[in-house]
Structure 1
């Protein structure tokens, strides 16, 4: 009987220690949560707030790159080409009436449109990038890594190093 009590007491102690450790871990995780949730918080912004955030990031990158007057027109063309695409509203009811092959064909067509838009952005990026000095290219490569995701000024989800 004494052995049973010892085992029970040991098990309760282990549970208590585990719960304490879990609570400490949760507190540590909660302190870093605002950084980890950056992308999710950003998604809750109004369109006006998103545009303001985007404009601030554009201005900051412009300053960090030290764009010269000779590069200004290429910069402006680049920024205009990198405008976020309008989010098309899809008629979900219409999709439910499509067959599986028709839905797949629609998805392929939408993907082709996205690819064409990315190729157009790549052209603008290449044109602008060719006007940069070696130091500017290095800065651009470090600061603008999220351009490949097609979300100029929005950053990449989970990437908290972007400033």
Structure 2
């Protein structure tokens, strides 16, 4: 089980990759009068509904990954523009973007199904979950190190911009969940 602290750290790192999508999508053309597709609904920040949701779930994982990569490239380009990197910072940027690259679709093209997972014995399930947790921890450590290295290469003004842009957790209005309810900030 992932602790709240780990979730917050993950959200921060993933947010740094996702960036202020609202700024990236502000320049997209308005949808036509035709019914919106799942992609348009997601670009507008809305959750896919009904038929669009079903189509989204059936989308080929490779196609979904490709679409995610396109969105990521736009967000990173927007961040790079806002940071106004100089020539000496380009290598740090390249290292950062390559290290924070999400893993692609599984090489075999298939994940273990719930039915296959249910056929495993409890010790086998625990071993698989521990192995997956170790993989995720290694990916997190790699991204954290890359983010810290890149951050150190920024000027104080750029660091403020980076902090502000990556605090949006992907710009999708995510809130921390505790006990199944949205946690609201304390008003003081």
TM-score > 0.5 by shorter chain: yes
CA distance in 2, matches of 1:130, 1:101: 43
Match of 2:24 in 1: none
CA distance in 2, matches of 1:66, 1:136: 8
CA shift for structure 1 position 38:
1.8
CA distance in 2, matches of 1:115, 1:146: 22
Q: Please list the CA deviations of residues 43-95 of structure 1 after superposition, one character each: whole Å capped at 9, or x if unmatched.
A: 94844332222111111100101111000010011001111122433222542
Matched, 1:113 2:135: yes
CA distance in 2, matches of 1:99, 1:157: 38
TM-score by length of 2: 0.54
Match of 2:72 in 1: 54
CA change 1:39–1:145 in 2 (3 A) is: farther
Instruction: Verify the 8 A CA contact 1:61 1:143 in the aligned structure 2.
Output: yes
CA distance in 2, matches of 1:103, 1:46: 27
Equivalent residue of 2:47, what SS?
helix
CA distance in 1, matches of 2:122, 2:171: 32
CA shift for structure 1 position 156:
5.8
How many aligned residue pairs are there?
A: 118
CA distance in 1, matches of 2:46, 2:141: 25
TM-score by length of 1: 0.62
Matched, 1:90 2:91: no
CA distance in 2, matches of 1:144, 1:133: 16
Residue from 158, 163, 185 that aligns with 1:136? 158
Instruction: Verify the 8 A CA contact 1:74 1:128 in the aligned structure 2.
Output: yes
Structure 1 spans left out of the alignment, 5+ residues:
1-33, 148-154
Answer 1 or 2: which has greater helix percent.
1
RMSD across aligned C-alpha pairs, in angstroms?
A: 2.8
CA change 1:40–1:99 in 2 (3 A) is: same
CA distance in 2, matches of 1:156, 1:115: 24
Structure 2 spans left out of the alignment, 5+ residues:
1-40, 57-62, 176-188
Larger radius of gyration: 1
